Structure 1
Amino acid sequence: MLGLKAHDSATRRRIRDILDGEDKVFGRRVAVALHALIVLTALAFAASTMPDLPDQARLILLWFERAAVAIFMVEYLLRIFAAEKPLRYILSFWGIIDLLAWMPSLFMTVGGSAAIRLLRLMQMVRTLKIIRYSRALRRLARAFNSVRAELALFYVIALFLVYISSVGIYFFEHEAQPDIFSSVPASMWWAMITLTTVGYGDAVPITLGGQIFTSLILFMGMGVFAVPAGVITSALVGRDIEEIGESLEKMETSEERARKKQMPISKN
């Protein structure tokens, strides 16, 4: 009985390693195949939106979508089977992403154009699965996770600045341009494109006060929206330093063990 349990546990661990791309024999092949499938499904979806696409091509894309959905569904079920705690995986971020990679396609026959558009949008969640199989992207995801509190604080401050900027430009420009800056919510579009230094030119201040206020907002935008890049870079560098330290510790430990094995045993 214990042997069967150990064999079952080893099988599940092997399945997890294969699906995560860590198995020495099949891991890399499976990761590359899933990478390619995710990219191809995204390209197929883009091609299916072309209005002049021949009916035969649409049929091929339809069957390709069905095949991809079947593969993603099998992968999802295998991950549930191989998970140490299946319920935790199902409710986890990656469990939800894996579910949304194939589930919406089963309900594409739901009536209503709005519902179909929403389901098609949810289908594109499967592109996030590519992060799971990329070591560099996993490092970036871990960096985001380690500084999520700082990023959350930054976004709260950014939203506060958007609101303050909208109120400020409304007071300066409402009387001069009542159609463009008709209200504070309408002015938020100007605040977004100004703080991000995009500046489409569809909403431009014409009063002296509005222009001076815009200049201040531009300087603030260049400083504030450069913060996330520095925070994430610092997290990536910190993670690299930690990994180097762990590698050095493992090397030192293995060298100490090797020296102890080579030491002669004294006889009393």
Structure 2
Amino acid sequence: MTTLRKRTALFFEGNGAYRKAGHYIDIFLISLIMINVIAIVLESVDSLAQQYKHEFLLLELISVSIFAIEYLLRLWSCVERAQYKTLECGNFQRRLKYLLSPLALIDLVAILPSLLMMFITFDLRFLRVLRLLRVFKLTRYSRAMQLLLQSFRDESSSLLAAFFIMSVVLILASCGIYLIEHDIQPDKFGSIPAAMWWAMATLTTVGYGDVVPVTPLGRFFGGMITLVSMGMVAIPTGLLASSFSEQLRKRRLDFSDAVHENLHDGKLDDEQLEYLETLRIKLGLSKQEANKVIKEQLNVRNQHLYCRQCGARQD
């Protein structure tokens, strides 16, 4: 049983001998998710929903069954994964920790709406929106999305500080335009909450134009808020961009360190190449990037092993 569970874990992680099989199953699940998203969008058209009612229902049943089997197998085999196997606790606590992980919660969201539909009556429009959350399962198979989520986690405190400042500016802008335009446009700026719509549209530099100041002072104030907002909106974008770049740099550095540790005798055997290939996939690096790092490490090692003047090997 333990051997089967370990094989299942390796299969879903796509490691070792199961790398190709894991790659194929990832492609299959990604395709199934995209088909589901397209079907849910098309199902919102009443004529198509009535004409292909049974086909949509059959696709939903098949998809939920596959996603449920995947979820249960991942839950059963997660105790064999390296990050959970090292925990000093029982299998129940390990599975509980896995259940609360972001990717496991996303997998649960993918099947929960359809399961709840069997016991609770939902508005079909609300149910479609819930089922569309299935697209977030792509996060598990997309290294780019995982990098973005990691960037959010690493910069969470900075992003919260930026959003706090934006909230303060939003309140100040709403109060300011309310004081200036309230008497002139009581229907549009009748209260501070009503003025927040204008402030939000201005701060995000969207500017819908449905609510605009008409007094000279109000227009001047609106211009100042627009100039301030251009810098405010750029802060979270800059934080995420720099963090995303830093995540890529860290992953390349981790792979470079792994190559350096395995280059004891100046070459890589089949087992070491297999390990580096698994690590490359895990880190989300392309083969071109990985080969470049290997060549760089080989060049660095050769420079230390051989004399630059005569080319003789140094002891």
The code of the aligned residue for 2:57 comes to L
2:192 equivalent to 1:196: no
Distance 1:214 1:60 in 2: 53
The secondary structure found in structure 2 opposite 1:33 is: helix
TM-score (norm 1): 0.86
**In structure 2, distance between residues paired with 1:27 and 1:11:** 11
| Uncovered stretches (5+) of structure 2, i.e. residues with no partner | 80-93, 267-315
Secondary structure of the structure 2 residue equivalent to 1:102: helix
1:38 corresponds to 2:26: no
Aligned with 2:7 (options 11, 18, 37): 11
Tell me which residue corresponds to 2:289: none
The sequence identity of aligned pairs, in percent, is: 33
Match of 1:212 among 192, 204, 220: 220
1:78-227 equivalences under 5 Å are 78-84=73-79, 85-108=94-117, 110-111=120-121, 113=123, 116-227=124-235
Q: Which amino acid aligns with 2:225?
A: I
1:65 Cα deviation after fit: 1.2
* Inter-partner Cα distance in structure 1 for 2:12 and 2:49: 41
Shift of 1:224: 0.5
Letter in 1 for 2:255: S
Once the two structures are superposed, residues 52-110 of structure 1 have per-residue CA deviations (whole angstroms, 9 ceiling, x without a partner) of: 22634122111111111111111111111011221111122222211110111122252
Contact 2:151/2:247 (8 A) holds in 1: yes
- CA positional deviation for 1:155: 1.4
Task: Quote the residue 2:72 is aligned against.
Answer: 77
Looking at structure 1, the residues matched to 59 and 192 of structure 2 have their Cα atoms a distance apart, in angstroms, of 48
1:151 to partner: Cα distance: 1.1
Deviation at 1:218, TM superposition (A): 0.3
Which of 43, 51, 60 does residue 46 from structure 2 map onto?
51
Counterpart Cα distance in 2 of 1:247 and 1:27: 21
* Residue pair 1:16, 1:82 contacting (<8 A) in 2 also: no
Cα distance, 1:128 vs structure 2:
0.7
CA–CA distance in 2 between the matches of 1:185 and 1:119?
31
- Conservation of the 8 A alpha-carbon contact between 1:16 and 1:83: no
Structure 2 residue corresponding to 1:258, chosen from 256, 265, 273? 265
Q: 1:15 touches 1:82 (CA, 8 Å); kept in 2? A: no
Check if 1:233 corresponds to 2:241. Answer: yes
* Structure 1 residue corresponding to 2:253, chosen from 227, 230, 245: 245
Q: Distance in 2 between matches of 1:54 and 1:254?
A: 57
User: Per the alignment, do residues 54 and 242 of structure 1 end up closer, same or farther by CA in structure 2, a change over 3 Å counting?
Assistant: closer
Q: Is the 8 A contact 1:166 1:187 kept in 2?
A: yes
C-alpha RMSD of matched pairs (Å) = 2.3
SS at match of 2:106: helix
Name structure 1 gaps, 5 residues minimum: 260-268
Number of aligned residue pairs: 252
Aligned partner of 2:121: which letter? G
CA distance in 2, matches of 1:214, 1:197: 11
Residues in 1 aligned to 2:49 and 2:26: alpha-carbon distance in whole angstroms: 32
Query: Hey, what does 1:264 align to over in structure 2?
Result: none
Partner AA of 1:95 in structure 2: A
* Deviation for aligned residue 1:16: 3.4
8 Å contact 1:38–1:130 — kept in the other structure?
A: yes
Pair 1:66 & 2:61 matched: yes
Distance 2:112 2:251 in 1: 37
Report the alpha carbon displacement of residue 9 of structure 1 after superposing the two structures with TM: 5.3
**Bigger mean CA deviation after superposition, 41-50 or 51-60:** 51-60
TM value normalised by structure 2 = 0.74
**Structure 1 segments (4+ residues) deviating >3 Å:** 116-120
Distance in 2 between the 1:249 and 1:58 partners?
55
Q: Which residue of 1 aligns with 2:23?
A: 28
**What secondary structure is seen at the aligned counterpart in 2 of 1:26?**
helix
CA distance 1:242–1:54, change in 2 (3 Å):
closer
